[in-house]
Amino acid sequence: MMRVPERPRRSGKTMLTLTQRRGDRWGALLAGMLALVACVSVARAEDGYGLWMRYVQADASKVEAYRAALGDVVAPDRTPTQRAARDELQRGLAGLLGVQPRFHTAPAGTATLVLGTPDSSPWLAFLQPELEDIGEEGYLLRQTQLGGQTVVVVAARRDIGVLYGVFHLLRLLQTGAQLSDLDVRETPRMKLRVLNHWDNLDGYVERGYAGGSLWDWHTLPEWLDPRYTDYARANASLGINGAVLNNVNANAVSLSSAYLRKAAALADVFRPYGVRVYLSARFSAPMELGGLATADPLDPGVQRWWRGKADEIHALIPDFGGFLVKANSEGQPGPQDYGRSHADGANLLADALAPHGGVVMWRAFVYAHDVPEDRAKQAYNEFVGLDGAFRDNVMVQVKNGPIDFQPREPFHPLFGAMPRTPLMMEFQITKEYLGFATHLVYLGPLYEEVLRADTHVRGPGSTVARVVDGSLDAHALSGVAGVANIGDDRTWSGSHFDPANWYAFGRLAWNPDQSARDIATDWVTMTFSRAPDVVAPVVAMMMGSREAAVDYMTPLGLHHLMARGHHHGPGPWVAGGPRADWTSVYYHRADRHGIGFDRTTRGSDGVSQYAPAVARTFNDVGQVPENLLLWFHHVPWQHRMRSGQTLWTELVHRYGRGVGYVEAMQSTWGGLRGKVDEPRHRHVAAFLRIQRDEAQWWRDASVAYFQSINGLPLPAGEAPPPHPLAYYQALQFPYAPGDGR
Amino acid sequence: MMRVPERPRRSGKTMLTLTQRRGDRWGALLAGMLALVACVSVARAEDGYGLWMRYVQADASKVEAYRAALGDVVAPDRTPTQRAARDELQRGLAGLLGVQPRFHTAPAGTATLVLGTPDSSPWLAFLQPELEDIGEEGYLLRQTQLGGQTVVVVAARRDIGVLYGVFHLLRLLQTGAQLSDLDVRETPRMKLRVLNHWDNLDGYVERGYAGGSLWDWHTLPEWLDPRYTDYARANASLGINGAVLNNVNANAVSLSSAYLRKAAALADVFRPYGVRVYLSARFSAPMELGGLATADPLDPGVQRWWRGKADEIHALIPDFGGFLVKANSEGQPGPQDYGRSHADGANLLADALAPHGGVVMWRAFVYAHDVPEDRAKQAYNEFVGLDGAFRDNVMVQVKNGPIDFQPREPFHPLFGAMPRTPLMMEFQITKEYLGFATHLVYLGPLYEEVLRADTHVRGPGSTVARVVDGSLDAHALSGVAGVANIGDDRTWSGSHFDPANWYAFGRLAWNPDQSARDIATDWVTMTFSRAPDVVAPVVAMMMGSREAAVDYMTPLGLHHLMARGHHHGPGPWVAGGPRADWTSVYYHRADRHGIGFDRTTRGSDGVSQYAPAVARTFNDVGQVPENLLLWFHHVPWQHRMRSGQTLWTELVHRYGRGVGYVEAMQSTWGGLRGKVDEPRHRHVAAFLRIQRDEAQWWRDASVAYFQSINGLPLPAGEAPPPHPLAYYQALQFPYAPGDGR
């Protein structure tokens, strides 16, 4: 394999002499090429922009086989999606094979790779029966015989399936797969696989740690940044098929005609890649945009306004996906302002969208500060009685856990509790509570843990994944949403490791049974290197990184202990302010004697929102998983853990273990110097330094605080925090990124 | 010259066959190279990041001579600046020559390019006499004989001069200069050549149209984005030697210890490139950070606080440049809050900085809404009496004109009026009033017009340039500031043409006598293409673009007629609100009979702030330049212009002429398709479409408005605005970028 050295070691002069000696046109060509190398060493600096689609040339052991198998491509080019598939293959194969593939629209004698649908590629008509039940987005990928030749086929019922198959094939090549046994059949398990962008119209991204919004509303619709296309490519490579462009804390202006034209321009860019545009809808938009006196969902004028708005949108964006709504939560307007239910509100929008095939994604993230009930119980209480009251084109979008994207939460009790309503999973990809972009925390294991959690609502095996994919209750609609970690930073996600979370989200949204480890392995291989002595250690450090964050931030079921507002760093002492349920003391309830939120039947009874088998386990201090102990139980500091240590000793140990893990990651990464390109190595190393210091800060501040509460000595061997508690409490970060505005 | 095609036309298969036929190691190498071409066609897409430092291979007619003359480089490598010079040469020559230069630290037999100072390169000691009076930043660039060989020397008194010389040499190579006559001697005319970044600590850039701030405060000081280095390189290539990192609407937090450590990390990156860090200082910082009860400049506690702060800064940043201050203006605190003068305030900070060699740049952009005086006169009134009252290390920073960076203003009357005070010029590079980043407006001619304006204060030839460079009044200090148009957009400045304004600012700050046209020619050649059939038309369209913006926005001396707040688009009807001097009607004073601001001796008498010769010209409606007519005179709509037309006819004609110029630019640019790389061509074409539409909007809205005032019919042949005035008045842009916050 030819590699471009940072600085070629031969001097230019020697090169010239050699070529001049040959004195023929090959010499001249060679000289030109050598000249090129010099430029390239500058231009090819790895900066993360290419994500997992770098298409670096395949290993020497594979490249000949790939060239032979894939050098001649038969592909239709009549529709935008067909051309997108061809373009991607051209780009990918040129990189991976090191030569430009030849494209044909009909089989040539040398055809080796054939893609299309039975309609677009008549030569694939023989696959029609097999494609019958593969779904609108599914595809086949297979090495087979066609006209007496061995060919690779990428076949689907629709163009978008072909594009997805092309990305799958390129992934296999990037990860060095053998083509000889190629036989893949894929159908997505979820219908809607959607990113939620919390992007404000002024370019600010709430909880964004990757620069400003990718959408430059000011220059839309006239200027279509090529980055929009690359965004759509990245999503299509994972099967992500929707994007909510604007923040759930919504602004009615996003529904104004001027902004709809801008959104339509983005939709035009995304359409060939199968990504539909959705918008967050502000419930009071009929008043703010339409000048109505009310937004009451039962008001005929309001209903007319939304129908008109939906018609206007669909005229501009024929495949408009629908609305995402945050209503009657954290200050957003909603149907309860008029004494109506969430179902009334959702159905209002659903009726407006129905003629056009759009859906409403109505968020269950609802809680009120004037309700004395345990916040963890409120969404369930609000929604479970509405099961069956929603229109067919409404999904209720439920966060993975009952509080708010904490490093660890139990699965949300609504999963399994609303069998007549399709529930959409809402994961957070951006790391609001997990160290922002500077902490290396791979979320694959978090997503996997939630999806594999067993609700037991229909007996063992009633996993959250089966609730969400609709199979448990035979729903036609199903979906997963991820709060995007994407901005205009060159790395897309604010660091070189955060794209792994976008990637894992997309892969798991397609098929929630995949393994987070396998996904990480693919991602590292495509992103950094195919070398096993890079892939193995990097995957290993990623796999433990989320548990490490739990350890150094909120071990043993603790939650919501971050600083107020921006959520940067520890704040277990946070108390007072406008709402008790926005403080830390509300959640940890530590005192001289013990710590933890009693959600057992003797406490808030949050456990009883789960199916009996689950509730029993959570309710029993002897059975509850220790990693959720303090979520469900208030226990004495001297509580004996399974390790034999007291809770206090174990707690302090866990904090330190988290810091130690980050130090181990630093060591592992340090050992990869020279095996990972220098620009990205340096960047990651700097961020790991930040992460280590902040992990230590979390540990020290938390230990100092809890010690101030329980008055206990530090367990033997544990270092005292280097500063008094007041020092940590006084730290201020008025410009931490991503704060809600 | 070898060029990398977008998509190589030969198929990879053919290439392979050819190389395989040769079957030797050259064939293998060639195959690898060919493979590389495929990758490169993706990686080398022009996205503007390289600015004017793309270092594309020289034309075939030149490349051999360049290789012969520059292939062996003798350069010291002991200091960071020496290494910066070597690195830049390595990067530049590798690109331009197409081969890697050979570097030596002592002359080899083949030495052809020798750089250094007499200290760092003993072989250049013979130049010592010539370098004696070249200044700390000056340099020589010469082809000469050395040890019997023809060599190019880059010599200076200090390392930074050598680096500047290297950039000059690279510019000559990029623009295809002959080396044989090379004989350059350069010394900057201004001491301080400084960018002012109006960047807030939360990453927002006030009046920024190029994305967010380049400074990622959250990850500083640990992570040093390579972009910081490229920023310093770009500045050094122009001789820009300072950067004020934060907004003049300042936040005291930028002076906190945590943020000073962040600023120090940037200073460490910039130092090798000769770029010193400055900070905007909030005058009330002793109260906000220090907890003092006052910020009174005569208070000993306040004085102590600032001395301590200056000491702290210099301990972290030994070459800290100093403070920029906006005080008692637009809501900022200042010495007048305590009944003290601007001199008292500036001297307070100057005394604190003096032990460390820092300077204070005290802005004269001061006006008050409770002063009934013509706003254009207020800065002069406030400052002229303070001449001589400032410490030696204070400069008063004066905007180019008396209002605020309008498309055209007369030069500021303070220039020449404070002979005992060094006045620093403040230009705006970001286009707050000139169409943001989407309008192609080259500001070189604006800067040139101001610098060449003759104040007549010491007779003819007393140009603004000679006031600012200190030569008129023999000042030791001198400087030019430019409000930066730089953000984290990939193009740096929000478009492909806006870097030209950064470039022109830097070149003119070095030497204000250079021609805007020559500078544009250099910039286009380095940025887009060396082809004369590209350079000539692009330079031509740039050169007229500023006058076009004047025409379609505010012709004939009109000013300050933009929309309120964000300043996006026309707002000649803006009236009311908190301050009369923030409205449009205050400035145009149009009524049924006439239009214009009477600043003659019969009016506000603003003319009398200029030297008598100038005042006479401006005061006389028959002599005043027509492009400033309505700045100084209120005249009837029927006023006869030099063209013979009435003012009204001429005004409407000018608006249309501006629109026509943009259409002509579209046509010119369209004709360059295929001669300019496709990604940048497409981007510019889209922005020109926006500019054309917005120019038309300015014209239509302005004509509709003035017609509503004067009731006159449209001049013959002029198209009526397509909408009624109310339509233009109702347009709202709540999320236009860059608004002040």
**pLDDT single digits (tens) B226-279:** 999 999 999 999 999 999 999 999 999 999 999 999 999 999 999 999 999 999
Question: Cα separation of B47 and B151, whole Å?
Answer: 36
Question: Alpha carbon of A73 to those of A101, A106, A428: distances in Å?
Answer: 7, 9, 39
Q: Please state the length of chain A.
A: 741
Pairing label, strands A149-156, A139-146: antiparallel
Contact B218 A71 (CB under 8 A): no
pTM: 0.94
Does any CB of chain A come closer than 8 Å to the CB of residue B37? Answer: yes
Amino acid at B639: H
Does any CB of chain A come closer than 8 Å to the CB of residue B664? Answer: no
Q: Which pLDDT band, with edges at 50, 70 and 90, does B43 fall under?
A: very low
For B:483-522, CB contacts with A below 8 A are 488-490
Q: Please tell me which residue of chain A has the smallest CA distance to B693.
A: A222
Question: Cα separation of A80 and B121, whole Å?
Answer: 61
ipTM: 0.93
Residue A177 makes CB contacts below 8 A (sequence gap 6+) with none
Question: Cα separation of A498 and A496, whole Å?
Answer: 6
Contact B98 A32 (CB under 8 A): yes
**H-helix or E-strand containing B649?**
helix B647-670
Q: One of A432, A454, A547, A700 is an active-site residue; which one?
A: A432
Contact B478, B209 (CB under 8 A): no
Contact B735 A690 (CB under 8 A): no
Does any CB of chain A come closer than 8 Å to the CB of residue B224? Answer: yes
- Of the CA atoms within 13 Å of residue B676, those in its CB half-sphere come to 26
Contact A12 B90 (CB under 8 A): no
Does residue A544 come out as left (phi exceeding 0), alpha (psi in the -120 to 50 range) or beta?
alpha
Q: Please tell me which residue of chain A has the smallest CA distance to B45.
A: A43
Residues facing B113 on adjacent strands: B73, B152
DSSP annotation string for A629-642: HHHH--EETTPBPT
Question: Average pLDDT of B119-145?
Answer: 95
Instruction: List for chain A the helix, strand, coil content (%; round to 5).
Output: 45, 10, 45
Residue A530 makes CB contacts below 8 A (sequence gap 6+) with A56, A59, A174, A175, A176
Beta sheet of B102-104, edge-to-edge order: B102-104, B72-74, B113-116, B149-156, B139-146, B183-186
Q: Which pLDDT band, with edges at 50, 70 and 90, does B146 fall under?
A: confident
Does any CB of chain A come closer than 8 Å to the CB of residue B40? Answer: yes
Contact A655, A721 (CB under 8 A): no
Pairing label, strands B423-428, B479-483: parallel
Contact B101 A12 (CB under 8 A): yes
Q: Which of A267, A228, A265, A223 is nearest to B693 (CA)?
A: A223
Contact B79, B271 (CB under 8 A): no
Query: Which residue among B71, B223, B737 places its CB closest to the CB of A13?
Result: B71
Q: Which of A369, A374, A376 is nearest to A399 (CA)?
A: A376
| Residues of chain A found within 8 Å of residue B67, distances taken between Cβ atoms | 12, 16
Contact B653, B641 (CB under 8 A): no
Residue pLDDT, tens place only, B656-702: 999 999 999 999 999 999 999 999 999 999 999 999 999 999 999 99
On the question of a cis peptide bond just before residue A221, with omega within 30 degrees of 0, the verdict is: yes
Within 10 angstroms of residue B707's Cβ, the number of other Cβ atoms is 17
Residue B157 makes CB contacts below 8 A (sequence gap 6+) with B117, B118, B131, B134, B135, B136, B138
Residue A300 makes CB contacts below 8 A (sequence gap 6+) with none
Query: Which residue among A36, A37, A686 places its CB closest to the CB of B222?
Result: A686
Give the model's pLDDT for residue B9. Answer: 31
Contact B253 A735 (CB under 8 A): yes
Does any CB of chain B come closer than 8 Å to the CB of residue A685? Answer: no
Q: Which of B495, B493, B455 is nearest to B614 (CA)?
A: B455
Å from B390 to nearest chain A CA? Answer: 35
Q: Which pLDDT band, with edges at 50, 70 and 90, does B2 fall under?
A: very low
Å from A263 to nearest chain B CA? Answer: 15
Does any CB of chain B come closer than 8 Å to the CB of residue A35? Answer: yes
Contact A7 B101 (CB under 8 A): no
Q: Which residue shows structure tokens 């925390």?
A: A441
Query: Which residue among A7, A490, A736 places its CB closest to the CB of B100?
Result: A7
Q: Measured at the alpha carbon of residue A173, what is the angle toward residues A167 and A174, in degrees to the nearest 5?
A: 85
Residue pLDDT, tens place only, A32-90: 444 343 333 334 589 999 999 999 999 999 999 999 999 999 999 999 999 999 999 99
Contact B232, B262 (CB under 8 A): no
Q: Please tell me which residue of chain B has the smallest CA distance to A687.
A: B223
For A:201-220, CB contacts with B below 8 A are 201-204, 211-212, 217-219
Helix or strand or coil: residue A245?
A: coil
Question: Cα separation of B398 and B329, whole Å?
Answer: 13
In this model, does residue B24 exceed pLDDT 80? no
Q: Which of B419, B483, B405, B497 is nearest to B450 (CA)?
A: B405
Does residue B716 come out as left (phi exceeding 0), alpha (psi in the -120 to 50 range) or beta?
beta
Q: Distance from first CA to last CA of chain A, Å, rounded? A: 51
Question: Cα separation of A187 and A141, whole Å?
Answer: 12
On the question of a cis peptide bond just before residue B221, with omega within 30 degrees of 0, the verdict is: yes
Low-confidence ranges of chain A (pLDDT < 50): 1-43
Q: Which of B186, B279, B190, B268 is nearest to B232 (CA)?
A: B268
Contact B690 A223 (CB under 8 A): yes
Residue pLDDT, tens place only, B151-188: 999 999 999 999 999 999 999 999 999 998 899 999 99
